[in-house]
Amino acid sequence: MFERLFKLKEHGTTARTEVVAGLTTFLTMSYIIFVNPDILSTTGMDRDAIFVATCLAAALGSAVMALVANWPIGMAPGMGLNAFFAFTVVAALGFTWQQALGAVFISGLIFLLLTVTGVRSWLIAGIPHSLRSAIATGIGLFLGIIALKNAGIVVDNPATLVGLGDLKQTGPLLAILGFFVIAVLDSLRIRGAILIGILVVTILSMLLGVSEFKGIVSAPPSIAPTFLQLDIMGALHGGLLHVILVFVLVEVFDATGTLIGVAKRAKLVEEGKPSRLGRALLADSSAIIAGSVMGTSSTTAYVESASGVQAGGRTGLTALTIAVLFLAALFISPLAAAVPSYATAPALLYVAGLMMRELTEIEWDDLTEAAPAALTAIAMPFTYSIANGLAFGFVSYVVLKVFTGKWSVIHPATQIVAALFVVRFAFFGS
């Protein structure tokens, strides 16, 4: 059955490898089960209902990605978008969380329309090769700073913004150990090296008493407090049109950058090779709409999927495994919580290093290609935003091409994207 659905042999993989890859990705992105309720509950939403909505949105999105696109990419409510939802739209602008959910729903419909009409694919086709490589590199760097922060290796410093953490603490030491375990096992070509590294750190943390085993089974709470509570008309008539625009821009470029970056790592979007990117974009779009109905912020493709790709995931069976595990998390959330952040951090950091190989694909001899690519990659981790990195890259690409007399080589899609980012920053800020 799996062979017929996912064409495992054609992709050079096995069911066991795909399941291990799915489990690896789930462990690296399962933090969203606990982080998303923390953030969205600040708006007055029911925390338990958000927990259920998060699990269901992730399961549904990943399942659609598996069965429609056959790509090994996990879906879940996006970090960054949930913060914008809670702290900007509701807390700062004063809209209700019901209106904010309505804005997410409308942006999802626009997103779907762009996908179905082919406009989104046309936009992607206009991305210069150097910027595509820079997007993958930037996502890797973004993944790296998240990993170092979660491990406690990089910390906040009021004088220099970031600084080195206390490496004598148990968390950073375990994260460093996990990184070397993964690197050694992977260099020996042992399948599931990332998963093994995560489990080794988790078990050691329990033995050392720094991570608590909180049980296995718990009954899922009710989703009723957030299910179908979105206020679409309130979003349309309440002055949320600019918010909807921001949601669409971030969803288009964050999600697309992630999909392309992870898919390139899995060799699913190679030159001259048929791609199911259109189907992946459709799955991504529909997941946003479903998530808003359940009661959570925009659902998107996760950069953590790269860890599953590194573990061998190449087909939708990886994503289907992720979907099943998110459903299981409804009942075994205490067990999922036993995996500390410094156990998944080494996996993310290792994948970040691997994604840096995309730097070799950038045309460094052409400054009008290299400088925008460098800005794209650098801005993502330092502004903690994939969208900002894309904005820096596209705008600088157009500016440099224009002022060096190379306007004719700029694809119309690149011009439009750059203009939209200028409008975004000029009228809506960051």
- Residue 324's pLDDT is 93
361 DSSP 8-state letter: G
3-state secondary structure 179-244: HHHHHHHHHCCCCCHHHHHHHHHHHHHHHCCCCCCCCCCCCCCCCCCCCCCCCHHHHHHCCCHHHH
| Residue whose tokens read 């080794």 | 200
SS3 assignment, position 157: strand
d(CA 385, CA 430): 10
- The arithmetic mean of pLDDT across residues 206-225, rounded, is 81
- Residue 272: pLDDT band (50, 70, 90) is very low
- The arithmetic mean of pLDDT across residues 115-141, rounded, is 79
- Residue 209: pLDDT band (50, 70, 90) is confident
d(CA 71, CA 58): 15
Question: Any residues with CB less than 8 A from the CB of 199 and at least 6 apart, and which?
Answer: 343
| pTM of the complete model | 0.67
- Residue 254's pLDDT is 67
Question: What percent of the chain is predicted at pLDDT more than 90?
Answer: 13
- The arithmetic mean of pLDDT across residues 159-186, rounded, is 90
Choice between 310 and 257, residue whose per-residue pLDDT is larger: 310
* pLDDT at 396 > cutoff 90: yes
Give the number of C-alpha atoms closer than 13 A to the C-alpha of residue 381, restricted to the C-beta side. 23
* pLDDT at 340 > cutoff 50: yes
User: Each residue of 55-67: pLDDT tens digit?
Assistant: 999 999 999 888 8
User: Which alpha helices (H) appear in 65-96, and where do they start and end?
Assistant: 81-83
- The arithmetic mean of pLDDT across residues 348-372, rounded, is 86
Choice between 113 and 32, residue whose per-residue pLDDT is larger: 113
- Judged by average pLDDT, the poorest of 41-50, 171-180, 301-310, 421-430 is 421-430
Please provide the average confidence, as pLDDT, over all residues in the chain: 81
- Residue 159: pLDDT band (50, 70, 90) is confident
299 phi-psi bin (left φ>0, alpha ψ -120 to 50, beta other) = beta
43 DSSP 8-state letter: G
CA-closest candidate to residue 332, choices 320, 324, 342: 324
- The arithmetic mean of pLDDT across residues 211-217, rounded, is 75
Rg for the chain, CA atoms, rounded:
21
- The arithmetic mean of pLDDT across residues 326-348, rounded, is 77
- Residue 426: pLDDT band (50, 70, 90) is low
CA-closest candidate to residue 393, choices 412, 361, 425, 370: 370
Question: What percent of the chain is predicted at pLDDT more than 70?
Answer: 87
- The arithmetic mean of pLDDT across residues 275-284, rounded, is 75
- Residue 245's pLDDT is 65
- The arithmetic mean of pLDDT across residues 283-307, rounded, is 84
User: Each residue of 223-255: pLDDT tens digit?
Assistant: 889 998 888 877 777 666 666 766 776 676 667
CA-closest candidate to residue 425, choices 402, 396, 405, 404: 396
